[in-house]
Amino acid sequence: MKRVLLLLAVMVGFGMAAAQTTITYWQYDYATRVDAMNQLIAQFEAENPDIKVVHETFPYDGYPAQVAASIPAGQGPDVAQLFYGWLPTWQRAGYVVPLPEQYFDAAALDENFAPLVQAAKVDGTWYGLPTAVRSLALFYNLDKLREAGFDGPPATWDEFVEMATAMTVKQGNRFVEVGYGFAPTGQDHHLVREVLVRQFGGVPYNDDYSQVTYASEEGVEAFDFYTSWVTEHQFAVPEFVPGNNGYRDGFRVLENIAMIVDGSFAIGDVQRLAEFEWGVAELPTLDNGVKSNFGSFFMNALTPNATKDPAKLEAAAKFLQFVTSDDAMKLWLDVVGELPASRTLIADPELASDPVYGPFVRALDYAHATVFVDESGQRDVMVDAINAVVLQGQDPAAALESAAAAEQLLLDANR
Amino acid sequence: MSSPPVKPKRRLSLSSREAIWAYAFLLVPLAFFLFFRLWPALQSFRLSFFSWHVDPEMRNFVGLQYYREMWAEFVARGPIFQALRNMLFYFVLVVFGQVSLGLISALLLNSVTRFRSIFRAIYFAPYVTPAAAVAWVWGWMYSVNFGIFNKLLADWSDWVTGIGLPWLAIDPQPFLTSPTQALVAVSVVVIWQQLGFQVVIFLAGLQGIPKQFHEAAAIDGANGWHRFWKVTFPLLNPVLVFSLIISTIATLQLFDQVVNINFTDQGGPLGSTLTIALYMYQQAFEKFRIGYAAAVTVLLFAIIMLVTLVQLRLTQREVEY
């Protein structure tokens, strides 16, 4: 009798296993993100016992390469996370599929998600959804500001220059501490394009981002101002702290960088590692008070693997809906520290008045998400222009003009 | 002597059976080589004629378009021009540096009898250290404001100024942050890391040269310098050829060190350290332009093949002991 029961149990077990749909989720490896996603998956599986989610992560740098190689072989993720700037590249090569209409109502998505999430569309079609959005702000070391005789962060760029200069320490002809963590490859290329150019009265691109327009008089002024932090004011030093994210390490760990411009994704790390009094402020403005910011997000998208059979597609769509729901966004905010992507959650007054999240939340109102066609290529163009000025002594106007020409070629080639 | 008539057996002779076994075992690595090396290599030729898409049916034949694009970019002095020019510099610096320093170190090591294996281990250690770790440490050593090299230069400058010779002072150097110094700085790291491999190869070569030749030459009155040029160097030729070709191929495929030493601006600053392999990687895995990247691979293949053939022609001579 016992044996029969056991056999029955095994058969029922197999039957359940056969009815279960397994989907694979991929993202890059980042402790808090992995933790948050594991919690979400546990909740999702409890609500959907017939679906099993396999969660796999890869180091950030090798992540796109893993995706590039696995999906054509029919392996890898059904749902994958990607930076919105990668979308055009991935979409052109067929690595992501449009969100299926039977599960996602385009009009409702337009309604529910923050305006900058529109960048998850290609030619008007939704290709994925974010859990969180990010913007930029100024992180400052309050201890250092006080030591230098200031009682708070700069509100204008003039004050910024004054404070950063005062907090820069040299020994002979070598820098010991700097006022600003110069990071062209970090967030500074966004800072120049979407923040400074606009604050100086220019526009970086035309409305549909098909024409580069930052090489204007105002754009050159903005670019000249940014590069002068190294060339003229000398409170910023290229590659001051070596290594990946050196500017952030210099700020939060080594404490030899007094201020950095960074994204909201850095909040968690700074909270964890900084052993001094620090704060976050909205990016400074010029005297004209014009505010601007760069908004961005990582999105979750369905890959061709998910379309292989209807059960899989349904499971993947359900999972995507789940991880981009309001509840998931709240969990993500708590665990990762990234801002929710929904219009209603982001409008929460409590969040907007939070001393740490507040500056980022308020910035979302005036943030622009650059519509990229080749994010790494466009980034390199701006980084090279900055380096041509600060490392080679090229004239800023000439450097910006050749950058605009090079970026225009990229835009034209990929449309 | 006549042997009794043997019944014809269907069994194979021992040597044939041994040969069959040998081939059977060889089949495994052969299959590995064919499927995981040769087949993908051939695939990249095919891929270079097609636009890339996940779905094979959506891959369109584009003929020589990617090769024409490469040529246009070369003429316009774009990244591929930079990469090829950099390769030339890397080739000259790294191959020459590695082989000459490797030979010198091996000769010195060969003349010590005590602790030789310890020295050999020390020289070999960098070769088995992961490139990421090496790049991280060297990145700090090259740091303009915190690195040991600029610290030494600063100390030196202080000292010479102190003794009244300020014109001997040397300013801090930008190293990796300078578009003109970065390539040399990376080359130094590569030479340092690969040196151990060369040393081991040359040591093996030196120890394979029969002692009698040196003794005979010494009896004939040849001094050390003559013995090196007339005995050691010619007899070392096969090892030298091997070492040259291996280091050339490794240099032409240079990737790890370049990627890791300037992690946020790989191949920079301003493309000054870019290599063909890195360029190919960026095209394939950052831009998902796999067809174009395949065309770059074919170019790299052609370059390596050509350089290797030329080297073989120029350096390989018969050696008679």
Residues A88 and A144 in one domain: no
Task: Give pLDDT, residue B6.
Answer: 58
Q: Are A410 and A396 in contact (CB under 8 A)?
A: no
Question: ipTM of this model?
Answer: 0.89
Q: Which of B71 and B219 is assigned the larger pLDDT?
A: B71
Banded model confidence at residue B117, pLDDT cuts 50, 70, 90: confident
B286-295 mean pLDDT: 93
Are B55 and A68 an interchain contact pair (Cβ–Cβ within 8 Å)?
no
A47-73 mean pLDDT: 93
Q: Are A175 and B254 in contact (CB under 8 A)?
A: no
Task: Give pLDDT, residue B1.
Answer: 46
Q: For residue range A75-110, what is the model confidence (pLDDT) as tens digits?
A: 999 999 999 999 999 999 999 999 999 999 999 999
Nearest to A377 by CA among B280, B283, B182: B283
Q: For residue range B45-102, what is the model confidence (pLDDT) as tens digits?
A: 999 999 999 999 999 999 999 999 999 999 999 999 999 999 999 999 999 999 999 9
Structure tokens given for B179 = 């578009």
Locate the chain A residue with the closest alpha carbon to B261: A243
Task: Give pLDDT, residue A61.
Answer: 84
Residues A146 and A208 in one domain: yes
- Rounded-to-integer distance, Cα A381 and Cα B271, Å: 11
Cβ neighbours of residue B201 closer than 8 Å, sequence gap 6 or more: B102, B106, B239, B242, B243, B246
Q: Percentage of chain A surpassing pLDDT 90?
A: 85
CA A338 to chain centre: 10
- Rounded-to-integer distance, Cα A218 and Cα A203, Å: 8
- Rounded-to-integer distance, Cα A70 and Cα A382, Å: 31
Longest dimension (CA), chain A: 89
Q: What is the pTM of this model?
A: 0.89
Task: Give pLDDT, residue A6.
Answer: 57
Q: Percentage of chain B surpassing pLDDT 90?
A: 61
Residues A289 and A145 in one domain: yes
Are A174 and B172 an interchain contact pair (Cβ–Cβ within 8 Å)?
yes
Q: Are B129 and B197 in contact (CB under 8 A)?
A: no
Whether residue A1 has pLDDT greater than 70 = no
Residues 280-309 on B with a CB inside 8 Å of A are 281-282, 284-288, 290
Residues A37 and A122 in one domain: yes
| CATH code assigned at A252 | 3.40.190.10
When CB atoms are compared, the residue of B52, B144, B264 closest to A244 is B264
Residues A93 and A160 in one domain: no
Q: How far is A347 from chain B (nearest CA, A)?
A: 35
Q: For residue range A253-275, what is the model confidence (pLDDT) as tens digits?
A: 999 999 999 999 888 889 888 99
Residue at A343 is within a domain: yes
Q: For residue range B193-207, what is the model confidence (pLDDT) as tens digits?
A: 999 999 999 999 998
- Residue B301 main-chain phi, psi, to 5 deg: -55, -50
Q: Are A169 and A235 in contact (CB under 8 A)?
A: no
Q: Are A83 and A296 in contact (CB under 8 A)?
A: yes
Residues A147 and A250 in one domain: yes
Q: For residue range B299-311, what is the model confidence (pLDDT) as tens digits?
A: 999 998 998 898 8
Residues A30 and A89 in one domain: yes
Residues A247 and A353 in one domain: no
Could you confirm whether domain B78-315 is CATH 1.10.3720.10?
A: yes
Task: Give pLDDT, residue A404.
Answer: 97
Which residues of chain A neighbour B174 with C-beta distances below 8 Å? 391
- Rounded-to-integer distance, Cα B246 and Cα B232, Å: 21
Residues A128 and A143 in one domain: no
Banded model confidence at residue B219, pLDDT cuts 50, 70, 90: confident
Q: A203 vs A195, A196, A215, A218, A399, CA distance in Å?
A: 10, 10, 9, 8, 18
Residues A389 and A342 in one domain: no
Q: Are B230 and B217 in contact (CB under 8 A)?
A: yes
Residues A282 and A314 in one domain: no
Residue at A283 is within a domain: yes
Residue at A367 is within a domain: no
Residues A278 and A247 in one domain: yes
Whether residue A13 has pLDDT greater than 70 = no
Which residues of chain B neighbour A172 with C-beta distances below 8 Å? 154, 158
Whether residue A73 has pLDDT greater than 80 = yes
Domain count, chain A: 2
Q: What range does the domain containing A120 cover? A: 2-133+297-361
Cβ neighbours of residue A168 closer than 8 Å, sequence gap 6 or more: A175, A177, A178, A179, A234, A235
Residue at A70 is within a domain: yes
Tell me the average pLDDT of chain B: 89
When CB atoms are compared, the residue of A68, A237, A392 closest to B285 is A68
